[in-house]
C-alpha cells in the first residue's frame, strides 16, 4: 500500500507537566522534542505499520527543520518538496488531563501548486491534513494534489484537525476536495456539517464510529495522547478499524506523537 500525505513537518516539543504551571516560577516536567506535524505523524505511523509512505511538504532549512526532516527520514518516510526559511515549531503542554498548544507553522503554509511533482501522487491513498485547508498557498497545493492523486486512481482522505479554526471558507475547501474519507471528532464534524464522504467519527476513549458501527478503543495506560488521532488515521488507512485503534493505543502509551 502506497500512502502520500500532504501538510506539515515541524519540530514537536511535548511538555508533560506534573501539575499546572506556576506563574513566575519553575515546574518539573518530562520533555520530548522531535519530528511532528499531522501529515508527518500519519506518514510515520503508516510506514511503521507496513505501508510505503511519502510526505509532501515545504519544510524549513534551519536547525528545527533539519532535525525534524532527519528524524522522519530515519523512520523510512520519503520527504518530497522544497525547503528554505524557518521550520515550524509546535509546543504542547499537558497537565491534569488538559492540553494547550502554541503553534508556529513556519514554511509549511508556503507550499504552492507549482512545487508539486505529479510522480509524488502515484499512490493508493492521499491523506490531506486539515491544517493545509485553512488558507494560504498550501490550500491551493492541496487541491492540486487531490487532482493529481485522483488521476492515479487514489482514494482521498482528510482529517479535519481542529474545530476552532474552521470557518465557511474551510468548509468550502473540504467539500471542493471531494474526499472519499473524512476523519473527525464530534465537534469537528458538527462544525463542518454534512458532507458526502465516508466518515470515521473519533470519540477518544469511547472508540470510533464507522458506517454506523461502533468500535471500542483498545485499553491502554495513557501517557500522552498527542498524535493518537494521526496514528488512528494511519492504521485505519493501512488496515481498517482494528489496526487504527491498536495504533492509537500504542501512541497513547508513550510520550510523543510518532512510533
pLDDT of 214 strictly over 90: yes
| HEC per residue, 68-101 | HHHHHHHCCCEEECCECCCCEEEEEEEECCEEEE
Say how far apart CA 160 and CA 189 lie, in whole Å.
8
For residue range 37-65, list pLDDT tens digits in order: 999 999 999 999 999 999 999 998 899 89
CB 150 within 8 A of CB 156: yes
> What pLDDT is attached to residue 121?
98
Say how far apart CA 144 and CA 225 lie, in whole Å.
32
Neighbouring-strand partners of residue 83: 59
Residue for grid cell 505511523? 45
Confidence of residue 30 (pLDDT cuts 50, 70, 90): confident
* Average pLDDT along the chain: 91
The CA distances from residue 57 to 28, 98, 160, 208, 230, in Å, are 35, 30, 18, 29, 17
For residue range 71-122, list pLDDT tens digits in order: 999 999 999 999 988 888 888 887 765 677 888 888 889 999 999 999 999 9
> What pLDDT is attached to residue 56?
98
3-class secondary-structure state, position 75: coil
> What pLDDT is attached to residue 170?
87
Mention every residue, 6+ apart, whose C-beta is less than 8 A from residue 9: 35, 36, 37, 39, 40, 55, 57, 59, 65, 68, 69, 72, 79, 87, 88, 108
Confidence of residue 129 (pLDDT cuts 50, 70, 90): very high
Say how far apart CA 170 and CA 151 lie, in whole Å.
24
> What pLDDT is attached to residue 21?
80
> What pLDDT is attached to residue 165?
61
Find the length of the chain.
Answer: 259
The domains found in the chain, sorted by start residue, are: 2-7+37-83+107-252 (3.40.1190.20)
CB 60 within 8 A of CB 106: yes
> What pLDDT is attached to residue 89?
86
pLDDT of 185 strictly over 70: yes
If one compares 117 and 26, the residue with the highest pLDDT of the two is 117
3-class secondary-structure state, position 198: strand
Confidence of residue 161 (pLDDT cuts 50, 70, 90): confident
If one compares 234 and 226, the residue with the highest pLDDT of the two is 234
Say how far apart CA 41 and CA 29 lie, in whole Å.
23
Q: Which helix (H) or strand (E) holds 56?
A: strand 52-56
> What pLDDT is attached to residue 96?
60
Amino acid at each position: 500500500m502506497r500512502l502520500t500525505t500532504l501538510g506539515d513537518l515541524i519540530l514537536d516539543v511535548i511538555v508533560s507537566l506534573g501539575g499546572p504551571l506556576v506563574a513566575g516560577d519553575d515546574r518539573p516536567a518530562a520533555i520530548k522534542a522531535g519530528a511532528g506535524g499531522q501529515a508527518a505523524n500519519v506518514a510515520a505511523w503508516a510506514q511503521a505499520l507496513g505501508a510505503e509512505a511519502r510526505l509532501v511538504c515545504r519544510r524549513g532549512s534551519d536547525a528545527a527543520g533539519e532535525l525534524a526532516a532527519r528524524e522522519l527520514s530515519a523512520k523510512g518516510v520519503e520527504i518530497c518538496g522544497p525547503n528554505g526559511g524557518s521550520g515550524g515549531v509546535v509546543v504542547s503542554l499537558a497537565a491534569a488531563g488538559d492540553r494547550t498548544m502554541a503553534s508556529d507553522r513556519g514554511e509549511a503554509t508556503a507550499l504552492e501548486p507549482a512545487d508539486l511533482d505529479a510522480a509524488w501522487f502515484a499512490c493508493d491513498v492521499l491523506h490531506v491534513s486539515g491544517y493545509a485547508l485553512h488558507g494560504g498557498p498550501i490550500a491551493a497545493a492541496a487541491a492540486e494534489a487531490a487532482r493529481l492523486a485522483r488521476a492515479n486512481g487514489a482514494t482521498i482522505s482528510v482529517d479535519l484537525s481542529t474545530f476552532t479554526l474552521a470557518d465557511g471558507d474551510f468548509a468550502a475547501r473540504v467539500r471542493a476536495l471531494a474526499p472519499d474519507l473524512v476523519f473527525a471528532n464530534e465537534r469537528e464534524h458538527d462544525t463542518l456539517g454534512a458532507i458526502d464522504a465516508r466518515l470515521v467519527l473519533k470519540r477518544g476513549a469511547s472508540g470510533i464510529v464507522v458506517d454506523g458501527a461502533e468500535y471500542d478503543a483498545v485499553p491502554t495506560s495513557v501517557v500522552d495522547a498527542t498524535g493518537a488521532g494521526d496514528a488512528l488515521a494511519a492504521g485505519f488507512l493501512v488496515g481498517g478499524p482494528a489496526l487504527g485503534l491498536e495504533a492509537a493505543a500504542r501512541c497513547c502509551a508513550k510520550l510523543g506523537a510518532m512510533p
